[in-house]
Structure 1
Amino acid sequence: MSEQISIPFRFRGPPNSGNGGYVAGAIAERFDAATRATAAIEVTLRAPIPLDTPMTLTRAATRAIAVHQGETLIAEAAATELAIDIPKPPSFAAARAAEPTSPSFLRNVNPYLPNGTGFHPVCACCGFDTVEGEGLRVHAAAVPGFAGVAAAWRPHRALGSGAERGTDEELPLSIVWTALDCPGQFAYYVDGIRTGLLGRMTARVIRPVYAERELVVIGWREHIEGRKHFAGTALFDQSGALCAYARQTWIGRMD
């Protein structure tokens, strides 16, 4: 059984391809609610993700999905288990105080966008040069006393799915996965290590996340195996409750 999936231009990561977290989350949304409620979803990205281009999504009988553009395999996904040790996050106030030191505010560090602001200026997750309400603007930074990075994030209402709860709107799964993306890479970058591109993300969302709330997103390093850099990320609500968590594999540079 096949259907179509397309990644809107606004959800890019690199200038000309999809943000890995958003793409993985958009694919995870295609699993049924019962599967998402009882399992994590693992998405492996096999090729750069085209923007505003229809791709074919095929479902297998064993809770698995494949995405192709023509003959090119773009991504594979499957339900799985995810066991991960999640550190206690810094407070929203501590993350906000550290925000000015985020790689999101660096100048002239991206060779593809030399006049841009930030490590990835137009990234849907961390990009500073995105339009408020379109980009998420998750600006993770090193926080004193925390072994990783954290972002104080108050999602714009426009990111909501329209499922209202009081004065707030629930964020779509794909937006939550996007928020979990870049903090894993930033956990390496603040220590002078550049990780390359997201190759795999396994995540689980365990409670709804709402716009216009004070949230904290964290990222931490796990270990390195050759060109593979493993990281964890997690998102907490204003009460400190864990809402979502992920393990990532970043593939590429070793410097």
Structure 2
Amino acid sequence: MSSLVVPGRFRGPAQSGNGGWTSGAVAALVDPVAPVEVTLRRPPPLDVPLTVEKVDGVTVVSQDGATVAEGRRVDAAPEPPAALSVPVAAAAEASYAGLVGHPFPTCFVCGTGRAEGDGLRIFPGMVSSDPAIAAATWTPHPSLADDTSPEHTTHAVTWAALDCVSGWASDIDERPMVLGRMTAVVHAPPRVGETHVVVGRWLATQGRKTLTSSGLYTADGRLLAAASHVWFTVDPADFN
């Protein structure tokens, strides 16, 4: 049995962990190479030790006996949206709806209330050629470096970069959502200080549930990581 802490820096809503970062931290405990599915059962609490244990082959993260997240290996890697060029992704940022109104401005990934070097400040806007695609550029800050490989970001940060871009490919500004499940595979970690492109795709909306996918690419279009997501609409007042 071990433990996991979601530091306050990595919050999504004001009172709980960012879904992508938390899922990536769990995935790193499951298998940092294979595709991993992480299901979030409740908002991840901040700055407290969470219990981690294996139960019937599933990595279970809990607090006082209540399950927070579950992670397991899966066979199939997610199918990402196609790569986009840096100029196309940069142009899309101008239409980022979060600049006008953001349900979770504290979000580590896409929050407009986070300073450079504190949050990722990934601001995805819609791509003019496809109404289901959002994209942004991202240059990882040195503070995101992995202690064991300083030229790269951590596994959890890589998953985080795959998170919100797909939510903004949907209508998260009009129907606020939080991440319920994320499946991802990391082929290679992004490099600190280099420009990358993140692309999100809306797939379907079924009642409160929205399905999306995302991809993280180098500037020359090489796929580094891919993800699929299940989102659920919420009242932001319950999370902020």
TM-score over 0.5 for the pair:
yes
> Equivalent residue of 1:29, what SS?
helix
- 1:59 pairs with 2:40: no
Q: Deviations over 1:118-175 (max 9, x none)?
A: 44211000012112212111111112113410011111121111455xxx71011000
Q: CA RMSD in A?
A: 1.9
Q: Is the strand fraction higher in 1 or 2?
A: 2
Structure 1 counterpart of 2:161, from 179, 184, 196:
179
Find the aligned partners of 1:9 and 1:144 in 2 and give their Cα distance.
35
Counterpart in 1 of 2:116?
A: 132
Of residues 181, 194, 218, the one that matches 2:199 is 218
Q: Measure how far apart 1:86 and its partner are.
A: 2.8
Identify the residue that residue 229 of structure 1 maps to in structure 2: 210
Residues 169-192 of structure 1 deviation map (CA, whole Å, 9 limit, x = unaligned): 1011000011111111101127x7
Asked if structure 2 preserves the Cα contact closer than 8 Å seen for 1:105 and 1:119, the reply is no
Give the Cα separation in 2 of the matches to 1:233 and 1:195: 18
Answer whether contact 1:6 1:51 (CA < 8 A) is retained: yes
TM-score (norm 1): 0.86
Higher Rg of the two aligned structures: 1
Which residue does the alignment assign to 1:246?
Answer: 227
Partner in structure 1 of residue 17 of structure 2: 18
Tell me if the contact between 1:139 and 1:151 (Cα under 8 Å) persists in the aligned partners: yes
Q: Is the 8 A contact 1:203 1:245 kept in 2?
A: yes
Question: Please, what TM-score do these two structures have when normalized by structure 2?
Answer: 0.91
Contact 1:90-1:143 within 8 A present in 2 as well = no
Partner of 2:43: 48
1:61 Cα offset (Å): 5.3
What is the total number of aligned residue pairs between the two structures? 234
2:138 is matched with which residue?
A: 153
* Matched position secondary structure for 1:36: coil
In the aligned structure 1, how far is the partner of 2:114 from the partner of 2:234? 26
Aligned-residue identity in percent? 35
Relative contact order higher in (CA < 8 Å, ≥ 6 apart): 2
The residue type paired with residue 208 of structure 1 is P
Amino acid across the alignment from 1:188: S
Q: Does the 8 Å contact 2:103/2:176 carry over to 1?
A: no
1:120 and 2:104 aligned: yes
For structure 1, the 5+ residue unaligned runs are 110-117
2:81/2:213 contact within 8 Å kept: no
Amino acid at match of 1:173: H
